Structure 1
Amino acid sequence: MWTEVLISIDEAHAEDLSDALMEAGALSVSVEDENADTDAEVPLYGEPGMEPTTHAWQQSRLVVLVEPEADIEDMLAVAFDALDLPVPAYITRKVEAQDWVRLTQSQFEPIEITRNLWIVPTWHNAEDEAERINLRLDPGLAFGTGSHPTTRLCLQWLAAEMPKGVTVLDYGCGSGILAIAAKKLGAGDVIGTDIDPQAVQSAIDNASANDTQARFVLPDGMVSGSTYQVVVANILSNPLKLLAPALVNYVAEGGHLVLSGILERQTEELIEAYSPYMKMALWRADDGWIALVGQKV
């Protein structure tokens, strides 16, 4: 039996107090809207795919998980004293012990991308191995588990449109899912790149878990002047606009550029941003997101 401590706190102190509580011995701290499910509830979000600018509400509730035998008064005193704040009134409640790993895993089921292409977490049995491609991938630090519409759109394009044997660049590779899928779907040489070293390592690990020969590097590991027959970039609209000349330069003559991470309302502005370099067109939409595709001729 675990214990949760519920504390009301204002927006200005929510994040710092969360950190102080973790340092004082809390197992975890989450921030909730104190007014959730009431008329005073305030949405907190950024543009889809982007972090919100603030991580707390004007009136927040901290939900602090502690060990059953924890000295709650002492922990709170240490945390609040670190911020020169008085300890407010708080509520405690008991939480039944659970197998948190199994509980988390149960939330991630295999995802069907196409009839013959599935994303399968490693704790699930990959059925019908001979009849479909199963990408073994677990949720992790890097973006790209197949659950987001932009990832699905790119995977669906690779499954439906990518010629066999082509060279592929996965730009902003995240988990490496697109590069790994491209290789399993019959691509030739495949490389992925990302500015985040953790993403690159995650992609390397995922490729190994899928017994896939794809290479992943930081941007400075890219070969200058290299081009690819398929370039896929699943990032966000603003970076895609800024990167337009660079991404087009990576595309070989006759090759394809696939872009996602774009909201439907941003379709025309992305097409316009790429118009000086390559003609792009809407390929498919999914739940408010779209994929653009162009061919370098």
Structure 2
Amino acid sequence: MDSKGSFNFRKHLKTIKKEYGMFASLLIAAVLGILLALFLYRRAFNNIVNVKVKSLREAFEKNVDLVEKQRKEKKAKEKEKKFDTDKFLLPPFGGVPDSAKDQVEMAITEICKRVHFFNTMKVEQIQKLFKSEDMHYLVVGENKDELERTVNGIVSGVNKRLNQMKKFRGEKKDFNTVNWDGYFTTSDVVMVSRINIRLFDITGIYFGEAEENIKRLFSQMLEEKDPYNASITVFSECQMIFKKRIEGENSSGLIGSILAEVLGQFNRLNEKPGPIFMIAWTTLPRYVDSAIKRRFFNLITV
């Protein structure tokens, strides 16, 4: 190859290098620009996401705080809330089955005697004489209507007798010589605080609410009242509330917790004895826990 051809070739090569070098530079610049744009876009996207996440977190925390505040307010109100008490009592023996009349009369007499003891004896004497377990009744039978009428007969009969005892309080009468049936009047005032409890009255939607309701129930029973007033709490269909425990079965569920709390609350009744009586009725006594049967010691069969 002569010198002229060699020169042209080198010139052409320089031109190619120059053109392709510019193209490569432009390509590199474009790639770098795209990468920079992607980086900036990603950074902006992350900032937007972080802001959104932060705002959502703040909103969620506010909602959680609001729910917790509402829960605490509801719990505080529940502690102040009381179970409803009956203001109307039927005349004694109104509709009480014949098979239960003698047992009802005996229960009325025993309950009113104990109310009298609480008004005439010291606490230490009462604690030696009888325990809380001796003051509660388990009413069993096959007919719900008859069981309810039996319980109503006990409650209204106690109310009548307490009215009579109140009238005799200042007369120093010997109660053993009083003709109780001759002193009934329709103007009797309510001297029995009756609380009716079913399973749904105790259970709640929050964990531990049932136990709190039971504590509240017993606190309401223990409230100071007129010396000759009595508190009678009626557990209806008690086999649902005091379900029998089965060996090997997990007792940490709702019913197990309710039963454990009720049994624990009995200690309060023995520590602070008073005219507090409980009546539980059921058509299925075989499903009632044995610990409850021991504490509802007095059995009435209808």
Richer in strand (by share): 1
Question: Shorter chain as normaliser: what TM range?
Answer: under 0.3
TM-score (normalised: structure 1): 0.25
Looking at both structures, which has the greater relative contact order when contacts are Cα pairs under 8 Å and sequence separation is at least 6? 2
The TM-score, its normalising length taken from structure 2, stands at 0.25
* Greater helix fraction, Structure 1 or Structure 2: 2
